[in-house]
Structure 1
Amino acid sequence: MKKEHGITILILLTIWQVLSMSVHNDILIPYPLDVLMDFLHLLTTKIFYMSIFSTIYRVFIGFLISFMVALVLSIIANRFKFFRNLFEPIQILTKSIPNISYIIITLVWLGSEKSVSIICFFILFPIFYNNFIFSMDSEPQDLKDVERIYPESFIELTRVKTLPMLYPTILSSSKMAFGLGFKVGVMAEILGQVKVGIGKQLYLARINLDTTSLFAWTIVIICICFIIDYLFNQFINRKSNGG
């Protein structure tokens, strides 16, 4: 962590402490120390780990399906103009529908437990597909000319040229998509009232007016997003350095 980051966090904590002392109402703004103690207590409970595993599992399923479908469709669309034109209305439609509409409609159709992964798929698919298409469209013209002179089969061309070319885009898109998918997944869990998950714990904290627990679980979400971002950055840096 950079020194400036530590200063920013210290300033935010100071503002939080001042506000909580001014309001002096833990339902509105709990004290930072109380939230920290509640967070440490969560680490000793079974439901903490069950909730994190359940949420990450649901998000990962939606993430993986959206990634695979977008990768296959984008490669086909880049290779065959007919399929690209065929997929274009779907691409525009998935980009235009608000996220909350995906969540509500999917909850109505599938119920709470099955909907989180499907919601993540609908929201993450356009990110992957658009990024993959943009990356392939940015291919230098001289490489396209060489491809016309020395044609290869579609499968061989995908293996030796398209996938290596997409590799940096795959890493950067995955980093952005998984973080977004995690937050969307938690929101879907709250609205769907799943049996186990981070969203369920946030929902219980809200209806019980337990703002301290609400803040503690929010810190959990921030920590998980930070860890995900850190792991992706480490992996990207290792690959960029030839590791």
Structure 2
Amino acid sequence: MKKRSLITIVILLILWIVSGEMINNPIKLPSFFDVAERMFELAKSAIFYEAFAYTLARSFFGLLLALFIGVLLGICSGISRKFEEYFEPIYTILKSIPNVSYILIVLIWTNSKIATCVIGFMVMFPMTYANTLSGMKSIENKYLDLMRIYPVRKTYKIFKVYLPLISHYIYASFSNGLGLTFKVGIMAEILGSVSPGMGRQFQLCRINVDMIGIFAWTIWLIVFLIVFESLLKLIENRLLKYKETD
């Protein structure tokens, strides 16, 4: 972590500690020390890991499905102008629907546990499709001209030419998408009372007016997303170094 970022975090923690002592009301602003204690208690409980695992699995499945279909249709639109024009109204509608509408509609239409995966897919699909299409349109003409001169099978074009050239766009969809899918998935779990999952734990904290628990779960979620993004960044840097030395 950069030095300036660490300084900012320390300042925020100091402000939280001071504000908590001044307000002295655990409902309005829980004490930093109470929240830290609850976080350690959660880390020692099996419910904590079970909730994280289930929410992550549901979100990850929805994201992977969105990546697969979004990349597939994005490549089709990049190859065929007619296909892009036919699909444009569907894409415009999907990207314009608010996330909360997705959540409510899907929860009514489907089983609450399946709904979390479906909602993750619906939220991430427009982004994945748009990124893939942008990647396809960014491919230099020299590669397209070369394939016209030396015709190859469509499967070869997709796996050996298009996917490697747009891999950066697909990676961006994945790295930016998991955090968003995870958060939207938790919202769906809360509204659908899905158990087990992080949303269920937030719901229980709300019912019990347990602000310390809400803060503890929220900070653990932030920590998870920061660690995950750091791992993805590390993987990206390793891949870039590998490509440079290849």
SS at structure 2 position matched to 1:128: helix
2:37 corresponds to which letter in structure 1? Answer: M
Runs (4+) of structure 1 exceeding 6 A deviation are: none
Shift of 1:2: 1.1
State the partner residue of 1:158: 158
User: How far apart are residue 78 of structure 1 and its match?
Assistant: 1.6
Amino acid in the other structure paired with 1:82: K
Deviates more, 1:22-31 or 1:74-83: 74-83
Q: CA–CA distance in 1 between the matches of 2:222 and 2:132?
A: 28
Tell me the number of residue pairs that the alignment of Structure 1 and Structure 2 aligns: 243
Task: Give the Cα–Cα distance (whole angstroms) in 2 for the partners of residues 165 and 112 of structure 1.
Answer: 38
Q: Deviations over 1:51-83 (max 9, x none)?
A: 000000000110111111111111122222232
SS of 1:144's partner is helix
SS in 1 for 2:100: helix
Q: Does 1:233 align with 2:217?
A: no
Distance 2:57 2:230 in 1: 19
Q: Which stretches in structure 1 are left out of the alignment for 5+ residues? A: none
The answer to which of 209-218 and 170-179 deviates more is 170-179
| TM-score with structure 2 setting the length | 0.95
* Cα drift, residue 225 of structure 1: 0.6
Query: What is the TM-score when the length of structure 1 is the normalising length?
Result: 0.97
Partner of 1:48: 48
Give the corresponding residue for 1:223: 223
Which residue is 1:33 aligned to?
A: 33
For residues 176 and 194 of structure 1, what CA distance do their matches in structure 2 show? 25
CA RMSD across the alignment: 1.2
In structure 2, runs of 5+ residues without a counterpart are none
| Separation in structure 2 between the aligned mates of residue 110 and residue 49 of structure 1, nearest angstrom | 26
Q: Which residue of 2 aligns with 1:139?
A: 139
Among all aligned residue pairs of Structure 1 and Structure 2, give the percentage whose two residues are the same amino acid: 37
Cα-to-partner distance string for 1:123-175 (whole Å, 9 max, x where unaligned): 00011110000011011223222222222221111122101101111212210
Residue 199 of structure 2 corresponds to which residue in structure 1? 199
User: SS of the residue aligned with 2:242?
Assistant: coil
The one-letter amino acid paired with 1:9 is I
Q: Write the distance in 2 (CA, Å) between the matches of 1:95 and 1:153.
A: 33
